[in-house]
Amino acid sequence: MHRKGREHCSGQNFHLNETGNNVSLISPRNKVIVKQYGLAVIAFCLALLMTHLLWPLIEPSASTLFFAAIMIAAFYGGLGPGILVSSLSAMAIDYYFVPPYSALELSFANVVRAGVFMLVAVMISWLNSARKRLMDDIRRREVEREELLTKIKGFNEELQQKVEAATAELSAANSALYRTQQRLTRSERMAIVGQMAASLAHEIGTPLNAISGHMELLAANHPHHADTQRRIRIINKQLDFIVGIVKSLLEWTHKRRIVLQMIDLNNLIEEALWLVGPVLDKRAIEAVVKPCEGPVNVYADLDCLQQVLLNLINNSIDAMPAGGRIEITLSRNEEAQTAEMIFRDTGTGIEPDAREHLFEAMWTSKTSGSGFGLAIVDEIMTDHGGKIEVLENVEGRGASFRLTLPLSGINPVAVPNERVLTDVA
């Protein structure tokens, strides 16, 4: 009872569903039809009212405003509302504006006049409804076109992203393949060098010891002979040079076990400069360190990193025979979780054509170098998951390097070492 009373009092076409909510009985399609025919009736009423008001001025032509109403009804509602307004208009014209007034006379003339009016009105309704359908179809196709263009744009962007990703992946694969080929080439070359180094160490070790012993005897037998002493010093220097080359070869080809431990790079730099301090003072070389605030801890082999610094410092000493300056700047890259060390000197610098060969073994631009110093540095940095790069010197002279190592929170990823393992007695 309560439900029926509620529906009756509302006066609207609603009913309660099972959940207790109001649901309209009129579907969206029916609402559209009601609006279309309602607009047609309103247009007819306005045409009838305006014709009554303007009748003294437009008599005897009473159909003009009704044709306008028919066009509006057909355009916005379609053929049905147009025919409805046409029928209402024909009866209204005959009833209100054709003698005898206020009466529907079924004479031959009235029937012919109403028939002609209906024919023209129906044609107008059909043409306007067709025009409306055409415009709706154009509008719908325009929407479909925009949606299609949007989809095509999305497909193009997705395809472009896939192409860029595939290109980047291919580039990375090519770079990895190139690095692998370089390592294989270095491996083959180092295999030969390792065999040669081992053979040289055994073959020339005994003769060198014998020569060195005889040189000591000659120096002891002729202590006051200046020319002999000078020649002995020259020979010993050359012997030391040969021994140094052989030792460099053996160090390069013999892979020592890396023992990782926590190292503060600030302390490492300080200790390395303390070791070479007398040499730097003797050569009038100033060493400036810009440490990082707080510890910069890395997992690394202490001896290996010390060798890296000493090799770079020795190269700088050789490049500054008349004195100069070494600057070491240490910093942390929190975003990349790496420690960065910038090493600069004011020496002779690096020639542009020498940059691509700088880290190759047995290549040197110095007149008295073995060509292994920077190659060993590069190998050590790679073994510790880091790298060394040559930088452009902003001051226009000297050499600049950037050394990068993962911080202690990241375990270093050692790249497989391709050097030959040679056990030299």
Q: Is the pLDDT of residue 413 over 50?
A: no
Let me know how long the chain is.
425
pLDDT above 70 for 146: yes
16-20, 154-158, 225-229, 353-357: segment of lowest average pLDDT: 16-20
pLDDT over threshold 50, residue 186 = yes
Rank 59-73, 82-96, 213-227, 276-290 by mean pLDDT and report only the highest.
Answer: 276-290
What pLDDT, in 10s, does the model give residues 375-401? 888 888 888 889 999 887 666 578 889
What's this model's pTM, rounded to 2 decimal places? 0.46
Q: Using CA of residue 153, residue 157, residue 162, residue 167, what is the dihedral sign?
A: positive
Percent of the chain with pLDDT over 90: 13
Q: Which residues contact 110 (CB under 8 A, 6 or more apart)?
A: 94, 98
Contact between 272 and 399 under an 8 Å Cβ cutoff? The reply is no
Give the pLDDT score at 10: 45
335-350 pLDDT, tens digit per residue, is: 889 999 999 998 888 7
Say whether pLDDT at 417 is over 50: no
Per-residue pLDDT, averaged over 175-196, amounts to 75
> Is it the case that residue 267 has pLDDT exceeding 90?
yes
Q: For residue 361, what pLDDT is reported?
A: 64
Q: What band does 256 get if pLDDT is binned at 50, 70 and 90?
A: low
pLDDT reported for residue 339: 93
Q: In the predicted model, what is the mean pLDDT of the chain? A: 77
Tokens encoding 272:
């390395």
Highest average pLDDT, of 53-57, 86-90, 155-159, comes from: 155-159
Q: Which residue has the higher pLDDT, 300 or 10?
A: 300
The domain over range 257-406 is classified in CATH as 3.20.20.70: no
Q: Distance between CA atoms of 256 and 245, rounded to whole angstroms?
A: 18
Determine the straight-line distance between the first and last CA of the chain, rounded to whole angstroms: 112
The reported pLDDT for the residue numbered 22 is 52
Q: 117-126, 286-295, 385-394 — which is least confidently predicted? A: 117-126
How far apart, in whole angstroms, are the C-alpha atoms of residue 46 and residue 69?
8
Cis peptide preceding 352, ω within 30 of 0: no
Domain ranges in the chain? Answer: 2-150, 175-250, 257-406
pLDDT at position 397, please?
75
Say if residue 249's pLDDT is above 80.
no
Could you tell me the two tokens for 53?
């008001």
User: Residue 367 has what pLDDT?
Assistant: 55
Q: Where residue 264 falls among pLDDT bands split at 50, 70, 90? A: very high
Tokens of 69: 């109403």
Q: What is the pLDDT of residues 21-46, one digit of tens each?
A: 554 556 777 888 888 888 888 888 88
Work out whether the CA dihedral 181, 183, 184, 186 comes out positive or negative.
Answer: positive
CA-based diameter of the chain, in Å?
161
**Which pLDDT tens digit goes with each residue over 360-371?**
765 565 555 556
Q: Provide, for the chain, the percentages of residues in helix, strand and coil under a 3-state DSSP scheme, each rounded to the nearest 5.
A: 65, 10, 25
Q: What is the pLDDT of residue 33?
A: 82
Q: Which amino acid is at 2?
A: H
